[in-house]
Amino acid sequence: MSADDKPRGSATIHDVARAAGVSIGTVSKALNGTGSLSEDTRKRVMETARALHFRPNMLARSLHTGLSGSVGLISNDSFGRFTMPIMEGLEGVLSQSGVGVFMVNATDDAEREKAHLDQLLAKQIDGLIVTARRADRRPSVDLRGLGVPVIYVFSQGDAPEALTLLPDDKGGARLATDHLVQRGRRRIAHVTGPSDFEAVRLRAEGWREALTDAGLEPGRLLHGSWSEAWGRAATAQLMSDPVRPDAIVCGNDLIARGCADALREAGIACPGEVALTGFDNWTVMAEACRPALTSVDMNLIQLGAEAGQKMTQMIKGAEASGTLRLPCTLVVREST
């Protein structure tokens, strides 16, 4: 019986090697992401394995390598707005080495997080990703005694040796503000979220520095909730000023959506009289806004992919620590 005639999932490593025209050792290296193989060879082996529905014996692999081929991800982002793009980028990289991801939701319950962590460790995970719905500091997860690497993504551990990957919030706000200045705006206000968020403070710094560097006085800075209602209320305040702003940099897309609604209801043209930017590039929100919203994209998929690269290296023994901030991009739409 040929490999093609076998029941799904019953192909062996010998079948893959024969079909790909390589040795069993080459198949093993390609599937495990080890060895110095050409990209063409690795790709051919992986495609052949998929075509034959080959499933490696993970128990045997674990006994041979000391690795389980799995990584855990803990989040408190119940809605998944930030975690799912990070997960997409992470899996895209780890899957190339045959590594799977177990994701658990700890909400904001420390006991639940501990229980989930115990379950992940019982599965002999090779590494742990910690993420969240906000990028502020939290108690570190200390697994150094177990030899399990930990990476914080869109989250920050409080241990100095932690490796943390974050979007460049300050740089993102500068992008939005510089864009408005280049469009000829000179009275640029900032409507944002609660000041106790680190991201809020960094975005305000980026807005302020961009205006100062352009020789402009920063407009009003208004703090409130992460909501459309706050965007509407803040816009009412700004439009009642003797000298109105001609642009508003918003701390997130929800706020910007509220600002856009308030401007439209007041008969104030956007972007004609007041241009508007958001932050997050939450596509469903930005594209449904009227007008469609120019917004800063934190590139969370790329952030997850970078975490996958770092985790792959750390599982192999590399050491890494410190904070890396990855650049944001600006997606320009009708609101500017």
Q: What is the pLDDT of residues 177-233, one digit of tens each?
A: 999 999 999 999 999 999 999 999 999 999 999 999 999 999 999 999 999 999 999
pTM assigned to the model: 0.80
The residues spanned by each domain of the chain are 3-56, 68-168+300-327, 169-297
Phi/psi of residue 332, each to 5°?
-90, 130
Q: What CATH class has 169-297?
A: alpha beta
How do residues 183-197 score in pLDDT, each as one tens digit? 999 999 999 999 999
Of 4 and 174, the structure prediction assigns the larger pLDDT to 174
Fold matches, 3-56 and 68-168+300-327? no
Would you state the pLDDT for residue 63?
Answer: 43
Task: Note the pLDDT of residue 86.
Answer: 95
Query: Please, what is the average pLDDT of the chain?
Result: 89
DSSP lists the bridge partners of residue 156 as 137
Ordered alpha helix ranges (H), the chain: 13-20, 24-32, 39-51, 58-65, 83-94, 110-122, 169-182, 198-213, 228-239, 253-265, 283-288, 300-315
- For the segment 126-135, what is each residue's pLDDT rounded down to a tens digit? 999 999 888 8
**Mean pLDDT of the region 97-125:** 87
- Residue 10 has what pLDDT? 67
Structural element, H or E, at residue 162? none
What topology is assigned to 3-56 in CATH?
434 Repressor (Amino-terminal Domain) (1.10.260)
What average pLDDT does this structure show over 162-186?
97
| Bridge-based pairing state of the strands 163-167 and 322-326 | parallel
What is the model's pLDDT at position 65?
52
Strands 329-331 and 322-326: unpaired
For residue 36, what pLDDT is reported? 79
Residue 122, pLDDT score: 86
CATH number for the domain formed by residue range(s) 68-168+300-327: 3.40.50.2300
pLDDT at 1: 36
